[in-house]
């Protein structure tokens, strides 16, 4: 298979992004651009599945193994789902949002394939820069600009720290490749600092503690429609890149300790910080921090189950934020949802149960795989904390359902029913179906992905 054939999915995504930039030339304008982008992203996901694994290209800088295949498939698929919803959303400048989402997806797909430090850094910046604009999409809102600026400043700072770590790794090892275990793992104190600095940038992309401070303010200021994408698809790509890089710098005890400490801090701060939140965006921001802790729990054990869990978490999280984009971002805005949109209300039950990790939802199997990998690595204490925090998370997730089902005056709230585009319901329905049906196909998923679930 030629190198150009392997890059066909990325080519389809960039065609969609360029088409969105010139949407005024298309019949139907913005909506057509979003629908076309969704279709091209979906075809890109199918192309990834059809191509499967392939030999490295670009002199070995880009690898197309099972990790890259799964992450690229998930990023393209979630982007297609998001753009399907966006094509019917009541937003201004839809074509810009579609273009930025597709450019971010392109960077994420390349990030998942990168096995060279320079290729990884370029892909990270390509995937992150469009997210800055998406988070500051409502230019007239001071809170939006403040959150976007915090995201930008911390992201740039951690990127510089990461680049400094990359330079130290190259100076100490003489290579920028990390396709073999321990290839970038120098010994000594300077080597430990280099490894931690290199990993810090990706920890920030995942909003994992202690690099999580930007997340609540950035999410709370940004439109929920932007948070839905930025909080999900890029994190899958970041998880794939972190899995590769951690394998390359895994020699010694510093990296496992770093992962363990970050996982513990993320699970505690994320779950406990979510409790007092009344804004759904802030609540989901802390939720994302907590789930990053579960991902790091598996990655610290050297298991690819962390990537599987990142994908499993992203599906319901995307759908919940899409509902918030339509119904409102305050918890009380969902009052009477079961009367206005009963199908969406019951879909939320399934989505939130999956985030908690209740069987038979797919989230339960994801957490089971993560906890199993950590137990195999001897991290029993961290698993106990993770189980307890999963129980704690039920409190704030189920609090979202109370106004939807039991708020006073739900009949009055149901009077202002607004008609939604069919694409809105379709996107949420597909995400809910994946949450419900993936457990039935875990054996097939294992066969397709090669991940131990």
Confidence of residue 450 (pLDDT cuts 50, 70, 90): very low
What values do phi and psi take at 438, rounded to 5?
-60, -40
Q: Does residue 25 have a pLDDT over 80?
A: no
By mean pLDDT, which of 12-21, 140-149, 425-434 is the weakest?
140-149
pLDDT surpassing 80 at residue 307: yes
Q: Is the separation of the CB atoms in 221 and 144 below 8 Å?
A: yes
CB proximity list for 204: less than 8 A, separation 6 or greater: 154, 155, 158, 159, 211, 214
Confidence at residue 418, expressed as pLDDT on a 0 to 100 scale: 61
Our measurement of the distance from residue 154's CA atom to the centroid of its chain's CA atoms, rounded to an integer in Å, reads: 18
Rounded average pLDDT over 317-334: 91
Task: For the chain, give every domain's residue range.
Answer: 3-449
Average pLDDT in the 326-335 region? 89
Q: Say if residue 218's pLDDT is above 50.
A: yes
Torsion of the alpha carbons at 20, 321, 311 and 364, rounded to the nearest 10: -160
Q: How sure is the predictor about 447, in pLDDT bands with cuts at 50, 70 and 90?
A: very low
**pTM recorded for the entire structure:** 0.91
Per-residue model confidence (pLDDT) at position 423: 82
Quick: pLDDT tens for 337-367: 998 889 999 999 999 999 999 888 888 988 9
CA dihedral of residues 296, 302, 303, 307 (deg, nearest 10): 50
Q: What pLDDT is recorded for position 38?
A: 93
* Alpha-carbon span 95 to 340, nearest angstrom: 29
The residue among 129, 444, 388 whose CA lies nearest residue 267 is: 388
Tens of pLDDT along 388-443?
999 999 999 999 999 988 876 554 444 545 667 788 889 999 999 988 876 655 54
Grade residue 451 by pLDDT with cuts at 50, 70 and 90.
very low
Opening angle at CA 79, ends 75 and 80, nearest 5: 120
Mean pLDDT, to the nearest integer, of 14-27? 84
């Amino acid at each position: 298979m030629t190198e150009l054939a392997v890059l066909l999915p990325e080519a389809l995504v960039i065609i969609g992004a360029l088409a969105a930039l010139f949407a005024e030339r298309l019949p139907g304008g913005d909506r057509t651009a979003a629908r076309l982008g969704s279709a091209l992203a979906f075809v890109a996901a199918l192309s990834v599945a059809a191509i499967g694994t392939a030999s490295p290209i670009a002199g070995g800088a880009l690898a197309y193994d099972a990790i890259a295949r799964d992450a690229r498939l998930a990023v393209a698929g979630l982007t297609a789902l998001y753009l399907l919803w966006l094509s019917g959303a009541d937003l201004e400048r839809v074509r810009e949002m579609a273009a930025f989402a597709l450019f971010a997806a392109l960077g994420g797909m390349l990030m998942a394939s990168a096995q060279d430090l320079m290729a990884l850094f370029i892909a990270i910046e390509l995937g992150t820069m469009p997210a800055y604009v998406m988070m500051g999409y409502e230019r007239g809102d001071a809170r939006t600009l403040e959150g976007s600026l915090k995201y930008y400043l911390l992201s740039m700072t951690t990127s510089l720290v990461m680049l400094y770590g990359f330079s130290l790794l190259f100076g100490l090892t003489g290579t920028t490749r990390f396709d073999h275990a321990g290839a970038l793992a120098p010994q000594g104190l300077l080597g430990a600092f280099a490894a931690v600095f290199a990993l810090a940038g990706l920890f920030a992309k995942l909003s994992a503690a202690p690099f999580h401070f930007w997340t609540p303010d950035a999410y709370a200021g940004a439109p929920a429609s932007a948070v839905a994408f930025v909080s999900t698809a890029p994190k899958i790509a970041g998880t794939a890149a972190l899995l590769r890089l951690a394998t390359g710098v895994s020699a010694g005890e510093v990296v496992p300790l770093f992962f363990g400490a970050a996982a513990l801090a993320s699970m505690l701060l994320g779950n406990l910080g979510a409790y007092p939140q009344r804004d759904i965006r802030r609540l989901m921001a802390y939720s994302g921090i907590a789930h990053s802790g579960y991902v790091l729990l598996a990655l610290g054990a050297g298991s690819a189950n962390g990537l599987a869990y990142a994908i499993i978490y992203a599906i319901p999280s995307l759908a919940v934020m899409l509902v918030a984009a339509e119904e409102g971002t305050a918890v009380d805005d969902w009052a009477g949802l079961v009367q206005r949109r009963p199908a969406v209300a019951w879909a939320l039950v399934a989505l939130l149960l999956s985030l908690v990790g209740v069987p038979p939802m797919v989230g339960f199997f994801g957490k089971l795989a993560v906890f199993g990998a950590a137990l195999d690595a001897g991290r029993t204490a961290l698993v106990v904390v993770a189980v307890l925090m999963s129980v704690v998370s039920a409190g704030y997730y189920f609090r979202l359902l109370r106004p939807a089902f039991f708020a006073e005056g739900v009949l009055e709230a149901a009077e202002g029913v607004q008609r939604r585009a069919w694409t809105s319901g379709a996107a949420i329905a597909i995400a809910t179906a994946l949450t419900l049906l993936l457990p039935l196909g875990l054996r097939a998923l294992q066969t397709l992905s090669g991940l131990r679930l």
